[in-house]
Amino acid sequence: MPLVLVSSDAFERHLTPPGHPERPERAHVFDAVATAWRAGGGEVRAPRPATIDELAAVHDRDHIGRIAGTAGRAAMLDPDTFTSPESYDLACLAAGAALVGVDHAMAGDGPALVLVRPPGHHAERDRAMGFCLFNTVAVAAAYARARGARRVAVVDIDVHHGNGTQQIFEDDQSVLYVSTHQFPCYPGTGAVTEVGFGTGRGRTVNVPIEPGAGDDDYADVLARVVVPILTAFAADLTILSVGYDAHVADPLAQMQVTTAGYRAMLATLRAAADATSGGRLVVVTEGGYDLPALGACLDATVEVLAAPAAAVATDPPPTPRVSGPGIRGREAADAALAVHRPFWPLPA
């Protein structure tokens, strides 16, 4: 089942002020990855814009209207979040790109890697924030549900907590949201005790990790918490909200993950999706602001997603670099296990 990339050079036209970390050069890295994949015989599909109704499945129409009202001009939505004349159209295109990926994955045709900006996971139902205008992965999860997926798992490994994705689905038992993130850090949400509301209790799984964590810490958290919960949930589709800003070179946080560590994380999550979701996997880009690290991690992601499923299942990920005693990961996993044992069959 071949990997498909969803990409467009249009994403470089989302402009931010000089010195802003979410800059158009990030799109140039995406373009280089897509060009190399196409040159090697891989398929790159063009995105299509999400419709207003598709956006409205997770966003208030007033919010959509406010973002649409910035079309043709530059605007500052908060101290971090800006639009340029084409940003509304490009945010719609980013959300629609994820839907192209969902169509591919739901058809059983293999995984999809969606290369988009602006990112999305901070955008709440009625609010743009944290560089994000529309919540791309939330739109994709709702679209998958409308297409017949009974359960959708969203795993967020951006270094920042995806407050928007959590808010949108925190009372929905059909969508599992799992986040590993630096804590404390922007936006200040994602405490381990935030587990969802009503029938959605237990479907929000936060694993906040102290600054300074490295490859071994993340490997421990995935093995002890994330994979067992994904296995128990047994989603029909898995969506990965992947920020590469936990990388040791990234300027916006203080984690110590290496490119090899990202390769190992993606291999672990790819194997989990193969085992629990029948290989129906969509990977959507979020953060990642050091350009060389972003390119290297995307190359590693492509390698993992393009590998035959049997190879991913039988060949263990490379041993991550040990960043220290692993205390940060062990403590984060212990805390999450203690909170979530009432909801999931987890080890003692």
Q: Is 28 a catalytic residue?
A: no
Going 330 to 331 to 332 to 335, the CA torsion angle's sign is: positive
DSSP string, 109-161: S--EEE--SS--TT-BTTB-BTTBSS-HHHHHHHHHHHTT-S-EEEEE-SSS-
Provide CB contacts within 8 A for 314, sequence distance 6+. none
Report the run of H or E that residue 330 belongs to, with start and end: helix 327-340
Which is the catalytic residue, given 14, 104, 121, 122?
Answer: 122
The two beta strands, 4-6 and 112-114, are parallel
What domains does the chain contain, in order, with CATH numbers? 4-340 (3.40.800.20)
CA-based radius of gyration for the chain = 18
| The pLDDT of residue 314 | 53
| 87-129 pLDDT per residue, tens | 999 999 999 999 999 999 999 999 999 999 999 999 999 999 9
Q: Calculate the alpha carbon distances from 307 to 154, 271, 294 in Å.
A: 22, 11, 20
pLDDT at 324 over 80: no
CA distance 238 to 164: 18
| pLDDT tier for residue 315 given thresholds of 50, 70 and 90 | low
CB contact at 8 A, 152 and 144 = yes
- Between the two ends of the chain, the Cα-to-Cα distance in Å is 37
Tell whether the model's pLDDT for residue 320 goes beyond 80.
no
The string of pLDDT tens digits covering residues 209-253 is 999 999 999 999 999 999 999 999 999 999 999 999 999 999 999
What secondary structure letter does DSSP report for 12? G
**CA 193 – CA 337 distance, rounded (Å):** 11
**pLDDT tens for each residue of 249-279:** 999 999 999 999 999 999 999 999 999 999 9
Residue 311 has pLDDT above 70, yes or no: no
Cα separation, 202 vs 342, whole angstroms: 8
Half-sphere exposure (Cβ direction) of 33: Cα atoms closer than 13 Å: 29
The confidence score (pLDDT) of residue 317 equals 52
Q: Binning pLDDT at 50, 70 and 90, where does residue 322 land?
A: very low
**Cα–Cα distance, 32 to 262 (Å, whole number):** 19
Q: How confident is the model at residue 326 (pLDDT cuts 50, 70, 90)?
A: confident
Residue 296 has pLDDT above 70, yes or no: yes
| Helices 291-306 + 259-276 axis angle, to 10 | 30
Map tokens 């003692």 to a residue. 348
Bridge partners, 132 (sequence order):
129
Closest CA to 279 of 4, 45, 8, 94: 4
Q: Based on the number of CB atoms within 10 Å of its own CB, is 40 exposed (0-12), middle (13-18) or buried (19 or more)?
A: exposed
